[in-house]
C-alpha cells in the first residue's frame, strides 16, 4: 500500500506533539516551582517572588552573569571563525 502525504503529516504531527509534551512539561514544572516559597511537596509552600528577589538582589548573581556573557561571546568569536562547519551558520 502506498504511503500518502497525509500519512506523513499525521506521523510528523504525532512525533512533534509527543516531543513537545516531553520537553515542555518539565520546563513548565520548573517554572511553576520557581515561584514557590518552599519545597514543591511542602503543604506550606505558597506562590511568591521571594526566589527572584533573592537572586536579583545578590551581587554574586551579576558577577556570574557577566562571566557567562564573556564566555558566550568568546565562544561565538572563537567558534565562529575556526569551526569546521561555520559556513552553515
Statement to judge: residues 62 and 43 lie in one domain: no
82: left (phi over 0), alpha (psi -120 to 50) or beta: alpha
44 found inside a domain: yes
Q: Which residue matches cell numbers 557577566? A: 66
For residue 84, pLDDT over 90 is answered with no
**pTM of the predicted protein model:** 0.62
Per-residue pLDDT, 55: 93
Statement to judge: residues 40 and 73 lie in one domain: no
pLDDT digits (tens, 9 = 90+) for 9-48: 889 999 999 999 999 999 999 999 999 988 888 888 899 9
* Structural contact between residues 37 and 46, judged by C-beta atoms closer than 8 angstroms: yes
Per-residue pLDDT, 24: 93
Structural domain total, the chain: 2
Statement to judge: residues 43 and 63 lie in one domain: no
Statement to judge: residues 39 and 73 lie in one domain: no
Statement to judge: residues 43 and 78 lie in one domain: no
Give residue 89's domain range.
58-89
Per-residue pLDDT, 7: 82
For residue 82, pLDDT over 90 is answered with no
Amino acid at each position: 500500500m502506498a504511503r500518502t502525504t497525509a500519512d506523513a503529516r499525521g506521523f510528523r504531527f504525532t512525533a512533534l506533539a509527543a516531543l513537545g509534551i516531553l520537553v515542555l512539561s518539565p520546563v513548565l514544572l520548573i517554572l511553576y516551582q520557581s515561584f514557590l516559597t518552599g519545597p514543591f511537596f511542602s503543604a506550606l509552600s505558597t506562590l511568591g517572588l521571594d526566589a527572584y528577589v533573592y537572586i536579583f538582589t545578590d551581587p554574586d548573581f551579576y558577577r556570574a552573569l557577566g562571566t557567562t556573557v564573556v564566555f558566550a561571546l568568546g565562544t561565538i568569536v572563537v567558534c565562529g571563525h575556526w569551526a569546521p562547519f561555520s559556513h552553515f551558520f
